[in-house]
Amino acid sequence: MTGTSTRVALLVLFLAVLALPPFIGLNSYYLQVLNLAWIAAIAALGLNIVTGITGQVVLGQAAMMGLGAYTTGLLLLKTSLPWWIALPCALLLTGLVGAALGLISVRIRGHYLAITTLGLNEIFRLVVLNEEWLTGGAFGLRDIPVVNLPGPGASTASHLYLPVLGITVAVYALTLRVFRTRLGRDMRAIRDDELAAESMGVNSRMTKVVSFVVCAIWGALAGGLYVLFIGFVSPNNFVVLESIRLLLIVVIGGLGSIGGTFLAALVVTVLPEALRDLQMVYMAVFGLGVVIILLLAPRGLGILADWILAPFLPGYRDGPPVAVEQTTGISLERDGNATGPATTRAVPAPAESPLLKVRNVTKHFGGVAALNDVSFDVREGEILGLIGPNGSGKSTMINVCSGIVQASAGQIELGSSVVSGRAAWDVHALGVSRIFQNVRLWTSMTVLENVMVPHPDSRRSGTIESIIGTRSLFAKEERAREAALEALNLIGIGALADRTTSDLSFGQSRLVELARAIVNKPKLLLLDEPAAGLRGGLIMDLADILMRLRDQGMTILVVEHRVKLIMGMCDRVVVLNLGEKIAEGNPVDVARDPVVVDAYLGGKIKRDTTRAPGRVPRSEPIRSAS
Amino acid sequence: MLGQVIASGAAMGAIYALVALGYVFVWNTMGIINFAAGEFITFSAYIFVGTLITSLALPFPFALALIAILMAAMGAAFSRLVFSRLQRQRALVAIIATVGFGIFLKEMAHIIYGPEPLMYDGPFGMRTLDVAGILISYQQLLILAVVTLIMAAQYLVFRYTMLGKVMRAVAMDRETAALMGIPVERVLAGTFAYSSVLAALAGLLLAPLFFVTVDMGTMVGLKGFVAMIIGGFGSIPGAILGGLLLGILENIASFTISSAYKDAIAFALLLVFLAFLPQGILPEKVVDRA
Amino acid sequence: MTFFTRATSTFVAATVMAGFGLAAAGLPAQAQTVIGASAPLTGPRALLGRNFKQGVELAVEEINAAGGVLGKPLQVAFEDDQGDNPNAALNAVNKLMQVSKAPVILGPHYSVAQLATQKTYCDGTTISVTSASGIPVTAGGCKYVIRVRGNDEVQARALVEFARKELKTDKIGIIAVADDMGRGGVSRITAILDAAGIKPVAVESHNAGDKDFSAQLSRMKNAGAALVIMWTHDNEAGLIVRQAKQLGLNMRFAGSTSASEPTFIKLAGDAAEGVISANDFVPTNPDPRIQAFVKKYQAKYNMLPEIWASAYYDATQLAARAINEAGSTDPAKVRAAFAKMQHDGVLASYRCQDNGDCNQQIHIVEVKGGQPMVLTTVKF
């Protein structure tokens, strides 16, 4: 129960020990090694944000350091600006380069991004090496004025020790805060499942650009501090191997672990100095160590660091879990007296006005038409079932409506706005939310965080305020947290809030996904086989929930196979076959439609009909296909 | 003189093609890019020149057979120990792990064989052939011949034998292949072994042109990957075309533009392709999994 | 609970590691006179480091046999600077200064490592005796650097003047490695040619570790170069002449010190014949002082000495003598002793100028019959 105070005390003690060296007469060699460790820690943290937290492989962080270092150095040498102007200028310039790289990363991913960033690092090195008129060439930039601040001890290393350490701690504290609030959640969502993130309103392009900018700025800060403290910079400081060394730090610290990166920077910088006689083998050991850590202990040193830093990480709760109305499974009562403000609303008759208008939508994949000239309406306040045999284009329809697939032709409107042609996150912002056929949660995050991501208050916090950490950010965070808890309670799984989603059963995950889809009170909810993989009892509970949501005014488009579910809850159904709409109407009528029956039973019926026309079976034909 | 530049570029390009081919095989069956491929080249060149030719003084054909067997065994072992585990991980993890593994191999070569570059004249020494005023060394001819032979043999095996069918089946759909009784793990290990043999071949073909040093394979490995992207990710004919094209363009550009930026040229070319022709020249029909 | 135990043990391990790093170095025993050496013992330049170390150790053996330094045996503390890695050099030099308290440090050897560390040691805490040949090393106003080799200017001038006089050609092309060494060389050669009113017909560069030089050589041929000066490392120089021979090019080659080094001659084979270079040291030099050194070195290591072994052998001898003549390990006094000293070493007869340059001579060497032969010695 005293977890928090123990951990905070340990953290304070740790920081106090780190602040000691200049006061206990350590000579400047040790101070210099530690200073270099802090500088590496800042650069590696930037890399961790992009690679560990946002999931974009970057093999060129040293070039960011280099850009920051050279810009700072050149401004100091050639313009005689003071360092406190030169350094921010360097950060700004490198940040712009980072933004460009972020835009590139939207188009180029995975292996492409890895080799591209490595290539850019090599190009950077060649440019500073060859463009001697600007960069001083291979001999580097010399005689850069070193900053001198008053401080304990006699050497520059000693004077600058506390400022460098202070900046490092500040950078880490800031990153920790970003990590656990809106921006950090978006980054982690992109890493865990980019498609789900985009459909849940995360602007992946913007988030990637921001994470690259932060990565670049931390890199440039590290490079700038290096120049201000060493007074010399050469192309050899920023070779690809240095980028890889930074990557080693990130991996040894545990991908995505902020505290782990700090410890790993210390280990990777100090250990080779401590064991200088083993220089020959340590790169081999680190190389092999990375493979072993990734395969066997992916959290690396983060195991330790995250334990101490837990009070500052998301999903931490000291003491017993907050009392939640303990509900077993789904126990929403149909009379609507249990929870939620909207339940008092009277059951509206499905209005005639269409909410979603699908007009002549066609989608080709290569030469195959998954959807061919499909038109239908989803009326406000109804549950519309979208059914059809396998491969009839139902999931494609859902994907087109949610914006993760763009239609080849045709138009989709939601109310008065055009949906088609917009990015998935913009569609989400218009009020379209969805769940996926095979549950796609962000597995590294807690249940509560999963549900907080799409909440409008999360979505509305600006990038700048997320980084600076304004009062309004925290107010929004709090509102998103409360709304998320409310949504979880509505589904009846409030007790799971602090669990990590990877620990949940399939059924629980499905319900979390549903909570995540309704937390922003969408106008239209798209469900792709919500009952798939659920056991019997849960299915009917699910139908209850959906009907209750409908009763609260939500419009639902559901793809489903189970006839009982469709018949039981849908107001109308639309039937697709081979990408074309073949029927539309109330469930009972549609189930009797011979064309629908024909489609479901396929060629066999056709053969039968050619042999003996009129022998088409008419009783409950859909069931046989379910 | 341009002819000379193109001829040298083509020989180098053939090596890139060989390396790119190794990437394609591993990618198609395992879905992994082996960023340690360059270090496989280095390591096999060290074993070949340092141990087999110099220390054991084996005759060339015997050493050739032995290095193929050794590298195949090593490749199969690494596939089982490391790479098959990486398959289940995200691309990010696989990339970083293979980079780490490459560092390990490189440093091990350094620790075992020491800092001195190893020298190997190759079976033909320094003799050259004059073709219409363009001088081509026998070693370069050997490279082109070996690469052509490998391509042809591989095409035939892949197209017409059971082994080829099995490999293609695993590449297309691993689960189904397993259900059909294909020993998927062994096929994967075999694929990796084969790509290691390709790397070994690249290593020993390069050894007489280069000296054997710890850095000899790194750039070749990376440029082989660039060649594969240029040719079309995962495409076999693309790898060959991409390799040759990269080798030749790189040499022409450093001849006509600037030799100081030679290594930048390959990466600049990569950027141009990613911007304007991201599918590469001969794209694979299967959707890219990158 | 198990988690906590695991976390604790990791923490303890990390603390021990960090603690070890900070407390590992005890004070050196004062029964010896300790100087430092910052050499590339690991990494891609480790070969140079090995020769460096052998040269130093041979010198230490002789110095101690002759009574040591200040009446105590001389000890050299080696630290690895990984050659041209500025951070590693900074740490190595700092450790030698702060932990080993070395009044004199042999190395760092690479110009870029010198320039990175000069801010650290030039305050007078220690003296660096180096054979880095980049011009800026002694041009930055650092009072505590001593250079035992001719700088790039000396090498380049000797080579160019010899080429123009003896080879009677002004059609000179340059191929240089794109690093501190190559860039330094190119700028000197072009400046010297410029002063004589000549422009090089082509200037090409390549990256350290490059293997294929067909593009550069083709450009040389197109430019009509009759002499190509290579300012690069042994491996690359070897490949350049090899590939030129394979391509049937008949221009002559000249080079920096690397073009008469054993690695170059071994790697280049037949193609090395007739290559001219400027070198401070070749083991075939008939000078009896040099032959005596070669014999001692061969007896101890069973291999021929090369330039770096000789340079740092000399550097060690110079440092020991300077400390003895100063009668103290006080860096300021030792530096003053360097200034007054005249010493006949293996590379040259040393006499230090104010900026720290102590060697103004160089040999012009040609490879004949697989051996580097001294053609002439140029003194400036």
Angle between helices B138-160 and B236-256 (to 10 degrees): 160
Averaged pLDDT, C292-319: 95
Number of domains chain C is built from: 2
Contact between chains at C205 and B260 (C-beta distance less than 8 A)? yes
Taking contacts as CB-CB distances below 8 angstroms, the residues of chain A near B107 are 281, 283-284, 287
Q: Enter the tokens of residue C233.
A: 């490392």
SS3 state of residue C261: coil
Residue in B85, B222, B264 closest to A126 by CB: B264
User: Do residues C167 and C244 both lie within one domain?
Assistant: yes
Lowest mean pLDDT among A17-26, A73-82, A147-156: A147-156
Together in a domain, C123 and C179: no
Whole-number Å distance between alpha carbons of A469 and A466 = 5
Q: For A577, list phi and psi in degrees, rounded to 5.
A: -145, 130
Angstrom distance (rounded) from CA A370 to CA B51:
59
Q: What is the dihedral of CA A362, A363, A368, A374, to 10 degrees?
A: -30
- Residue C370 Cα distances to B194, C112, C265, C267, angstroms: 42, 33, 7, 11
Q: From A442, A445, A52, A56, select the one nearest A253 (Cα to Cα).
A: A52
Mean pLDDT of chain A, nearest integer = 86
Question: Are A59 and A117 spatial neighbours (Cβ–Cβ below 8 Å)?
Answer: yes
**Are C139 and C102 in a shared domain?**
yes
Residue C98 lies in a domain: yes
Q: CB of A49 within 8 A of CB of A177?
A: no
Burial class (CB in 10 A: 0-12, 13-18, 19+), C48: buried
The model's pTM: 0.89
d(CA A532, CA A539): 9
* Residue C83 lies inside a defined structural domain of this protein: yes
pLDDT digits (tens, 9 = 90+) for A261-275: 999 999 999 988 888
Using a CB-CB cut-off of 8 Å, the residues of chain A touching B97 are 290-291, 294-295
Written as six digits, the tokens of C332 are: 């300021």
CB contact under 8 A, C21 and A304: no
Whether C91 and A32 lie within 8 Å, measured CB to CB: yes
Look at residues C244, C279, C314 and tell me which one is the last residue of a structural domain: C279
B274 with A112: Cβ contact below 8 A: yes
Strand order, beta sheet including A580-585: A432-435, A524-528, A555-559, A383-387, A572-577, A580-585
Q: Which of C7, C20, C115 has its CB closest to that of A142?
A: C115
pLDDT at residue C29 greater than cutoff 60? no
**So what's the pLDDT on residue B286?**
47
Type of residue at A201: G
pLDDT average, residue stretch C295-316: 95
Q: Burial of A506 by CB count in 10 Å (0-12 exposed, 13-18 middle, 19+ buried)?
A: middle
In a domain, C107, yes or no: yes
Residues C145 and C244 in one domain: no
**Residue C159 located in a structural domain:** yes
Q: Does B274 touch chain A (CB under 8 A)?
A: yes
> Is C270 buried (19+), middle (13-18) or exposed (0-12) by CB count in 10 A?
exposed
**Dist. CA A178–CA A181, nearest whole Å:** 5
* Together in a domain, C259 and C310: no
Strands C349-351, C342-344: pairing kind? antiparallel
- The candidate with the shortest Cα–Cα distance to A40, out of A178, A159, A168, A147, is A168
Whether C324 has a pLDDT exceeding 60, the answer reads yes
Hey, which residues does A525 pair with through a beta bridge?
A: A433, A556
What tokens appear for A272 in the block?
Answer: 């080779």
- Distance between CA atoms of residues C320 and C333, nearest Å: 13
Q: Which of C279, C301, C316 is the last residue of a domain?
A: C279
Q: Please tell me which chains touch A, using 3 or more CB pairs under 8 Å as the contact test.
A: B, C
Within a domain: C4: no
In three-state secondary structure terms, C373 is: strand
Q: What is the DSSP letter of A461?
A: S
**Which residues does chain C have within 8 Å of residue B260's beta carbon, measured at their own beta carbons?**
178, 205-206
CA distance A48 to C369: 58
Q: Which residues contact C80 (CB under 8 A, 6 or more apart)?
A: A276, A279, C38, C39, C40, C41, C42, C43, C49, C88, C92
A301 touches C at CB < 8 Å: yes
For residues A444-458, average pLDDT? 93
User: Does position C109 have pLDDT exceeding 80, yes or no?
Assistant: yes
Separation between Cα atoms, residue C89 and residue C108, nearest integer Å: 7
- Using the Cβ of C98 and the Cβ atoms of chain A, whether some distance falls under 8 Å is answered with yes
- Residue A296 forms contact with C (CB below 8 Å): no
Helix (H) or strand (E) holding B179: helix B174-179
Kind plus residue range of the DSSP H or E element containing A372: strand A368-379
Residue C1 and residue A6: Cα distance in Å, rounded?
A: 15
- Residue C13 is predicted with a pLDDT of 44
Residue A544: CB atoms within 10 A of its CB come to: 17
DSSP string for residues in A259-290: HHHHHHHHHHHHHHHHTGGGHHHHHHHHHHHH
Q: Quick check: is C2 in a domain?
A: no
Query: How far from chain centre, in Å, is Cα A398?
Result: 22
ipTM of the complex: 0.90
Kindly state the helix (H) or strand (E) to which residue C245 belongs, with its residue range.
helix C234-246
Q: Find how far residue A36's CA is from the centre of its chain.
A: 32
Asked if B277 is an interface residue toward chain A (Cβ–Cβ < 8 A), one would say no
pLDDT category of residue A329 using cuts at 50, 70 and 90: very low
CA A70 centroid distance within chain: 33
Contacts of residue C118 in chain A, CB cutoff 8 Å? 142
Section A70-93 average pLDDT:
95
> Cβ atoms within 10 A of the Cβ of C32, count?
17
Nearest-Cα distance to chain B for C265, in Å, is: 12
Q: SS3 letters for A389-421? A: CCCCCHHHHHHHHHCCCCCCEEEEEECCEECCC
- Residue B134's region, left for phi above 0, alpha for psi from -120 to 50, else beta, is beta
How far apart, in whole angstroms, are the C-alpha atoms of residue C132 and residue C185?
12
Q: Output the CATH code of domain B2-276.
A: 1.10.3470
Q: Which residues contact A504 (CB under 8 A, 6 or more apart)?
A: A441, A447, A496, A512
Cβ distance A284 to B111 less than 8 Å, yes or no, reads yes
Residues C110 and C210 in one domain: no
Check pLDDT > 90 for residue B154: no
Q: How many CB atoms lie within 10 A of CB B215?
A: 19
- Beta-carbon contacts of residue A397 (< 8 Å; ≥ 6 apart): A358, A361, A371, A374, A386, A559, A576
Query: C252-255 and C276-279 as β-strands: parallel, antiparallel, unpaired?
Result: parallel
Contact A146, A248 (CB under 8 A): no
Residue A574's DSSP bridge partners are A386, A584
Looking at the fold, whether C267 and C180 belong to one and the same domain comes out as yes
Tens of pLDDT, residue by residue over C111-140, are 999 999 998 899 888 999 999 988 889 998
Asked whether A346 and A314 are in contact (CB, 8 A), the reply is no
pLDDT band with cut points at 50, 70 and 90 for residue A203: very high
CA distance A512 to chain C (A): 28
- Domain of C209, CATH number, reads 3.40.50.2300
* C323 close to C104: Cβ distance less than 8 angstroms: yes
Contact criterion met (CB below 8 Å) for A339 and A552: no
Class of domain A3-312: mainly alpha
**How far is residue A172's CA from residue A149's CA, in Å, rounded to a whole number?**
23
Give the residue from chain C lying closest to A35, CA to CA.
C91
Q: What stretches of B207-283 show up as alpha helix (H) in DSSP?
A: 218-231, 236-256, 262-276
- Residue B146: HSE in the Cβ half-sphere, 13 Å Cα cutoff: 24
Q: What is the rounded average pLDDT of the residues A298-314?
A: 91
- In this prediction, residue A333 carries a pLDDT of 39
* Interface contact C119-A237, CB threshold 8 A: no
Question: Residue C359: is its pLDDT beyond 50?
Answer: yes
Between CA A45 and CA A168 the distance in angstroms is 10
Residues 6+ apart with CB under 8 A from B71: B40, B44, B47, B193, B196, B197, B199, B200
Rounded-to-integer distance, Cα C124 and Cα C138, Å: 15
pLDDT tens by residue, C191-248: 999 998 999 999 998 887 777 888 899 899 999 999 999 999 888 899 899 889 888 8
What digits encode the pLDDT tens for the residues A526-543? Answer: 999 988 888 878 888 888
Structural domain containing residue C197: 153-279
Range with lowest mean pLDDT among A233-242, A561-570, B264-273: A561-570
Inter-chain residue contact C248 with B263, CB threshold 8 Å: no
Rounded CA Rg of chain C = 22
Q: Are strands C104-106 and C127-130 parallel, antiparallel or unpaired?
A: parallel
Cα–Cα distance for residue pair A46/A118, rounded to 1 Å: 16
Residue C227: its H or E element: strand C227-231
Q: Rounded distance, CA C374 to CA A423, Å?
A: 75
User: Binning pLDDT at 50, 70 and 90, where does residue B19 land?
Assistant: very high
Task: Name the residue facing A137 among C6, C79, C183 (closest C-beta).
Answer: C183
CB contact under 8 A, A270 and C205: no
The chain-wide mean pLDDT, for chain C, equals 88
Q: Tell me whether residues B100 and A286 touch, CB distance under 8 A.
A: yes
Domain boundaries, chain B: 2-276
Q: Do A255 and B93 count as a contact with CB atoms less than 8 A apart? A: yes
pLDDT at B139: 85
Distance from CA of B100 to the nearest CA of A (A): 4
| Residue ranges covered by each domain of chain A | 3-312, 341-592
Q: How many CB atoms lie within 10 A of CB C211?
A: 20
Minimum mean pLDDT range among A328-332, A534-538, C97-101, C171-175: A328-332
CATH number of A341-592: 3.40.50.300
* pLDDT at C113 (0 to 100): 94
Last residue of a domain, one of C223, C252, C279: C279
Task: Say whether pLDDT at A52 is over 50.
Answer: yes
